[in-house]
Structure 1
Amino acid sequence: MKIVIEGKEIDAKEGISVLDAALEAGIYIPHLCKHPDLEAVGGCRLCSVEVEGIENAVPACKTTVEENMVVKINSEKADKTRKMAMELILATHPADCTGCHKYGKCELQSIYQYMGVGPDKWRKKSRTVQNDESNPLIQHLFTRCIRCGRCIRACRELRGVKVLDYQRTKNGIEVGIDGGKSLEEAGCKFCGACIEVCPTGSIMDAVGIMKEEVSYSDSVVPCRAACPAHTDVPRYLRYIKEGDFAKATAVIREKVPFPETLGSICNHVCEDNCKRNEFGNPISICKLKKAAAESHDDSWKARAYKSKPTDKKVAVIGAGPAGLTAAYFLAKKGHSITVFEENEKAGGQCRYGIPAYRLPDEVIDKETADILEVGVELVTNTRIDDPKELLDKGFDAVLVSVGTHEGSKLPLEGNDLQGVYINSDFLKKVRQGAPVELKERVMVLGGGNVAYDCARTALRLGAKEVHIACLEDINMMTATKDEIEEGKEEGIILHDAHSFLKIVGNEKVEGVELQKVSKFYFDENRKSIIELVEDSNEVIPVDNVIFAVGQRPKGTEKMELELTHGPYIKVNEALETNIKGIFAAGDVVTGTKSVISAIAEGRKSAESIDKYLGGDGDITEKLIDEEKTNSYIGRCAGFSKLERTKTELIDADERKCSFESVEKTLSKERASCEAGRCLQCDLRLNLKQPKLWNEY
């Protein structure tokens, strides 16, 4: 129907409000209680307009359009009503905006600027109310509250949690919870909808939650941002909660071709950044990924794309997670891919550097087969020392992703005695089934997960007594808490905060001399500073020593590529080396990091190589349709106190005698329960942002 607003004739949908009709036509009417995702209540009176034929100004948000209606926004009646409403709001509102995190983005500030009402005209009333900072993740600054009710309606209408309401207090009417309970006690799900719809910043994220150095969406959904491959964690957790493992796996595979591998051995930095940590324990994201991937539902393949052949050939040197990931996505872009692997089988450190009790061969074989299925050729038992030769043989681009397979020895006295092993050689021999001479007492030097891999492997080879010694205090060790705890259960003896002085023995290892560390830190030049406790020396009698103090690339000095920091290949932002057509990715560039980091590097190299070969570099893939998320999440009593679902392990005495997998996969029911603990932080990003007047 036709209506006229401020002299402009517009078409308006039947049944909508004058406010909505105006905003849809790009005509601004001041408003606060109305939000794009919420129905208006007409309480703020800031949207007051004059309608021809009606004596007094009326709220535009509650006035339905009629045929040939004539509306004036800036009439004397409307201005007077709006100004009075604004002055009542501002009377108890802080006058200084500069210290507010909403400064420049505040809807209230925008409206009073539009109306020309300045702080000098405010009739101030003192309203000193203490801020509520008692709740994790959310703070409530009552002096900024204008009682628009948007937070209450979002909590009720959008989320169905229904914990917020108006409360009568000694300071007047405030937004709060019945009985003066905390958000945790009331069953709040900390979804953040109240924060998102608040026009003034009265309800805000707790200090430290939002990071200035990252984007808004990354601060809101830190698990997804922390994942090097940016896997959409909240999305696949929702599918797991619903019991739909097939869709969950499809979401994961949009970013990574190794979901079950990651579910077994990922360092899960996503969990370190999960907001659930504020309540005790994060979501068990890694184990949920494993539960979904182990369903082995291949329905995702029906949506997998494969571009037309490009007649471009790419060689990949190294069949680890970085190289295979790059090969997978480049093959899907239509390029002909050949992967050269020095070892008998593909997998890189996943196969030869991680024990079978953590990552069985059959998992690597299955996921490697999925990669080869898209048209990747794998050539094993083939070592490539000179990548340039491959360019000469007709390959259009080469990716070097040889990893870090050479372990390091510390320059300790006795490091060449019989019975000394290096982590990479030791773990590889065991994984290959080669004989390893190991006696009853073993000392592992190092404090990371690899040290625990070596120690727990030694137990499984029959060692009766296994020690780990490291410089770091237990709270500073790089090994995960799970590894430390599981190793302790299996009987591994930890000497944390100890320096290794020498390996004792004549021809063969007889012991390791340790000394307690009082301080261990790095100075401003990243030089390690170690202070020892006097007269704290002791010799631990052992028969074998395994160095687990780091790894480095092997053979890169023969490749005639520019190197940095010793054997690491130097690349630019696009992962190009100094030789045109040769790229490098993964640990050979970054140093030993994690499987998920290597996968992310593989993705990045695939994008760069595709662009180099004339493609668009777009390797994004949609293996499942976007579905509307049910944002009506409802209340759950004791939600914040829900305990993390523990993964069941085989009994320690049983598991330390076998290389069978130590971990039992979560059942569908237990996985659904654990996924239900997710705060679903990403729901906030689905809410629309109101436009300020200067955007119209």
Structure 2
Amino acid sequence: MKLTIDGTEVEAREGASVLDAALDAGVFIPHICKHPDLEAVGGCRLCSIVVDGEGPAVPACKTPVREGMVVDSHAKAAEDVRRMAMELILATHPSDCTGCPKYGVCELQSMYQYLGVSPTRWRCRARTVATDDTNPLITHMFTRCIRCGRCVRACRELRGVGVLDYQRTPEGIRIGIDGGVSLEEAGCRFCGACVEVCPTGSIVDTLGLAKEGRSREDNVVPCRSGCPAHIDIPRYLRHVKNGEWEKATAVVRERVPFPETLGSICTHNCQGECKRNHLEGPLSICRLKRAAAVRDTGEWRRRTRHDALTGKRVAILGAGPAGLTAAYYLAEKGHHVVVFEAEQKAGGQLRYGIPAYRLPDEVLDREIQTILDVTQGDDAEPRVEIRCGERVCDPKALKSEFDAVLVSVGTFDGTVLPTPGHDLEGVIRNTDFLKAARKGEPMDVRGRVVVLGGGNVAYDCARTAVRLGATSVDVCCLEAEAVMTSTPEEREEAAEEGVTLHDAYAFTSIDESAERPGHVGAMTVHKIAKFYFDEQHRPVTELVEGGELTIPADYVIFAVGQKPEDTRDMGLELTHGPYVVADAEHRTSEDGVFAAGDAVTGTKSVIGAIEGGRESAEAIDRFLGGDGDISEVLLDAEVPVQRIGKVPAGFYDEPTEPKMEPAQERKADFRPYECPFSESEAEHEASRCLQCDLRLTLTRPRLWNEY
């Protein structure tokens, strides 16, 4: 039906309100209690209008449209009601806006600026209600509340939780919780809908949750932004919660080709960003990925893109996570890929740098074979060819046969610090030690072992030494335990297996054995009082007086870093020694040669290397004349359920812990000791997700200057 609003003829659907009809047509009428996703209540009176030239003024949000009606939002009767309503709101609202978290994006501020209204005719009454900052994730500043009720309606109508309500207090009506209990005691889902719909700075995310330099979307869903590959974590957790294992795996595989591998060994940056860290603990995001992957039936394979062949050929040096990821996506874009691998089996650090008790060969073999199977499709010849046992040190020489080359050789050259005694027999590099164990040719460390380093690789060495029969294993590192890069669970499990940690110790010397000249006999370290960088960015170590400690040792394993081993002979520009220089497009100093993974960034994480492989595949595809779009849609998009309801049983439980073998049993061999979550365990753990991404599905109200 047609009507006229402020001189403009507009069309509206039957049953729509005048306010909705105006806003849909780009005609602005002031309003504050109305939100695009909520039913109107007509309480604020800011949307007052006069219909057909007759008074009194009525709220546009509660006035249905009718054919031929004439609406005037600027009539004197409407303006008088609107101005008085805004003046009364401002009379109890703080006058200082600059200290408010919503400054610059506050709907109330926008509205009174549009109206040119101030509370000058009224006696301002400051409400001195204390801010409630006792709840995790959400802060309620009552002084900024205008009692529009949007938060109450969002909690009730949108989410079906019903925690917030109007409260009668000595200070007047305010938004609160029955009984004055905490949000958690009341059953809050911490979904953030109340924060999202609040038009002022009354209900906000707790100070410190949002990180500078990160987009609003990334701050709202920090787990997704914290993942280097940006896997849609909330989406796949919803499928896990519903027992939809194939769908969950499809969501993961839209970003990475190694779901079960990552579910077993990922450093799970996402969990460190999970907002539930401020409640009872983060979700077991990594283990839930594995829970889905082990139950996957491969239904997603029917949806892979498998573009037509382009006739272009790409050589990749190194069959690690970066190289194999790039190979997969380039092949799916129609390019023929040959991967050259120096070792006898593909996998890179996944196979030769991670112990079998964390990632057994059969898991890695299965996921590599899946890459080969999927990329082959119905073609007569495979699109990905892996040539093991072929070490290539001159990528430029391949340019005569290939259209592009990717260097992703990883970091297999372990670092040995020039500590006195580092050349004694019994000093071992971490890379040599772990590779030998994975090849079935383990080094003999039946004796006392000291591992130097504080990362997960150091603990891989320590726990491998335990399984190889070491009589004692000590880990020494420069960092204090609170800032060690190894994960807490890795340290806890190692301690259960008998590994002793000496944190915040400087490495003084490796001492020669008196009984075995030329061989390691002990490790001397010194307790650190303070460690920092001076004005010239040089490390400064202050030692504790008398804090020297000598640990008997037969073997010392350096796990303090590793670097690429073949890059110095490649004729490419290098930095910081052997690391390949590559720009944002992963291009090296040689045209047509690209680089990705640890050989560029240094040793970081498997998920980081995978993302490097994705990015390099995009860049190479563009170089070869493609559009660089490697995205895959393996599952139809779905609209998540908005009404999540009351908290389910166990919502406030501690994180679910997987079943694992006792330390005495697991340290006897290299068999995987951690069981995947059962279906019920996985579904329960996934149900703890706050579903932060639901906030991003809510409509953002437009300010008046956007009309």
TM-score of the pair, normalised by structure 2:
0.96
Structure 2 match to 1:381: 389
User: Could you report, residue by residue, the CA deviation over 1:484-534 in whole angstroms, capped at 9, with x for unpaired residues?
Assistant: 000000011222222222222222222222222222333354432222223
Whether 2:540 is the aligned partner of 1:529: answer: yes
Give the letter aligned to residue 254 of structure 1. E
Asked if the contact 1:186/1:637 (under 8 Å) is kept, the reply is: no
User: Which of 506, 510, 522 is residue 511 of structure 1 equivalent to?
Assistant: 522
- SS of 1:162's partner is coil
Q: Percent identity?
A: 60
Alignment of 1:491 onto 2:502:
no
Corresponding residue for residue 129 of structure 1: 129
Supply the distance in 2 between the matched residues of 1:207 and 1:342 (Cα, whole angstroms).
Answer: 51
Listed as ranges, the matches of 1:111-510 within 5 Å are 111-118=111-118, 120=120, 123-373=123-373, 374=375, 375-392=383-400, 394-505=401-512, 506-510=517-521
Matched residue of 2:545: which SS?
Answer: coil
Note the 1:562-601 alignment, pairs <5 A. Answer: 562-601=573-612
Equivalent-residue separation in structure 1 for 2:602 and 2:456 (angstroms): 15
Cα offset, 1:576, TM superposition: 0.5
**Alignment root-mean-square deviation, CA:** 1.5
Quickly say closer, same or farther: Cα 1:116–1:535, change in 2 above 3 A: closer
Q: Return the letter of the residue paired with 2:506.
A: S
Stretch moving more, 274-283 or 636-645: 636-645
Aligned ranges 1:98-117 → 2 under 5 Å: 98-117=98-117
Distance 1:623 1:526, change over 3 A: farther
Q: Distance in 2 between matches of 1:296 and 1:537?
A: 54
TM-superposed CA distance for 1:251, in Å, is 0.4
The residue that corresponds to 1:88 in the other structure is: 88
Deviates most, 329-338 or 93-102: 93-102
Shifted more, 416-425 versus 566-575: the winner is: 416-425
User: Any idea what SS the aligned residue of 1:642 has?
Assistant: coil
Distance 2:226 2:537 in 1: 24
Contact preservation (8 Å) 2:447, 2:472: yes
CA distance in 1 between partners of 2:122 and 2:362 (Å): 73
Aligned to 2:681: 670
Give the whole-Å Cα distance in 2 for the aligned partners of 1:200 and 1:674: 35
- Partners of 1:213 and 1:500 lie apart in 2 by 37
> Which AA in structure 2 matches 1:315?
A
Q: Tell me the SS of whatever aligns to 1:604.
A: helix
TM-score of the superposed pair, with normalisation by structure 1? 0.98
1:576-622 per-position Cα deviation (integer Å, ceiling 9, x unaligned): 00110001000000000000000011111111111111111111111
Asked if the contact 1:217–1:685 (Cα under 8 Å) also holds between the matched residues in 2, the reply is yes
Structure 2 SS opposite 1:16: coil
Q: Following the alignment from structure 2 to structure 1, what is the Cα–Cα distance between the partners of residues 547 and 80?
A: 82
Q: Give 5+ residue unaligned stretches, structure 1.
A: none
Q: Which amino acid aligns with 1:354?
A: I
Would the alpha carbon gap of residues 395 and 179 (structure 1) be closer, same or farther in structure 2, given more than 3 Å must change? same
* SS, match of residue 508 in structure 2: strand
Q: Secondary structure at the match of 1:641?
A: coil
Q: Deviations over 1:625-647 (max 9, x none)?
A: 11110121112278773211012
Q: Which deviates more from structure 2 when the two are superposed, residues 195-204 or residues 102-111?
A: 102-111
Q: Does 1:628 align with 2:639?
A: yes
Tell me, what secondary structure is at the counterpart of 1:337?
Answer: strand
Contact 2:259–2:289 (CA<8 Å) still a contact in 1?
yes
Distance 1:157 1:408 in 2: 59
TM-fit CA distance, 1:113? 1.9
**Are the aligned partners of 1:151 and 1:198 in contact in 2 as well (CA < 8 Å)?**
yes
SS at match of 2:316: strand
8 Å Cα contact 2:46/2:86 also seen in 1: yes
Shift of 1:100: 2.0
Deviates more, 1:457-466 or 1:658-667: 457-466
After TM superposition, give the deviation of residue 121 of structure 1 in Å. 5.4
Q: Out of 601, 623, 626, which is 1:615 matched to? A: 626
The runs of 5 or more residues in structure 2 that have no matched partner are: 376-382
Q: What letter corresponds to residue 390 of structure 1 in structure 2?
A: L
- Equivalent-residue separation in structure 2 for 1:118 and 1:179 (angstroms): 36
- Is residue 185–residue 638 contact of structure 1 (8 Å, CA) maintained in 2? no
Q: Write the distance in 1 (CA, Å) between the matches of 2:162 and 2:336.
A: 57
- Kindly provide the amino acid, as one letter, of the partner of residue 313 in structure 1: R
How far does residue 27 in structure 1 lie from its aligned partner after superposition?
Answer: 1.2
Give the Cα separation in 1 of the matches to 2:212 and 2:508. 44
SS at match of 1:414: coil
Listed one character per residue, the Cα deviations across residues 310-358 of structure 1 (whole Å, up to 9, x for unaligned) are: 1111100000000111111111111111110000011001100100000
Following superposition, the deviation at residue 116 of structure 1 comes to 2.1
Are residues 305 and 122 of structure 1, via their aligned partners in 2, closer, same or farther at CA, if it must alter by over 3 Å?
Answer: farther
Quote how far apart the aligned CAs of 1:214 are: 0.9
Q: What does residue range 68-79 of structure 1 map to in structure 2 within 5 Å?
A: 68-79=68-79
The DSSP-based 3-state class of the residue aligned with 1:108 is helix
Shift of 1:411: 1.2
Amino acid at match of 1:342: A
Alpha-carbon deviation of 1:53? 7.1
Shift of 1:138: 0.8
Contact between 1:90 and 1:122, CA under 8 Å: does it hold in 2?
no
Kept in 2, the 8 Å contact 1:403–1:553? The answer is: yes
Is the partner of 1:291 in helix, strand or coil?
Answer: helix
Q: Which amino acid aligns with 2:472?
A: E
Per mean C-alpha deviation after superposition, the further-off stretch among 464-473 and 585-594 is: 464-473
- Asked if structure 2 preserves the Cα contact closer than 8 Å seen for 1:348 and 1:403, the reply is yes
Call closer, same or farther: CA 1:535–1:131 in 2, change over 3 Å: closer
Distance between the aligned counterparts of 1:540 and 1:80, measured in 2?
A: 84
User: Aligned residue for 2:380?
Assistant: none
The ranges of structure 1 where at least 4 consecutive aligned residues each deviate by more than 4 angstroms after the TM superposition are 119-123, 637-640
CA distance in 2, matches of 1:551, 1:186: 51
In structure 2, C-alpha distance between the alignment counterparts of 1:486 and 1:419, rounded to whole Å: 26
Greater alpha carbon shift after TM alignment, 61-70 vs 669-678: 61-70
Aligned partners of 1:536, 1:463: CA distance in 2, in Å? 27
Task: Find 2:665's aligned residue among 654, 657, 670.
Answer: 654
Deviation of residue 435 (structure 1)?
4.4
Shift of 1:387: 0.3
Distance 2:650 2:362 in 1: 38
Contact 1:649 1:662 in 2 (8 A): yes
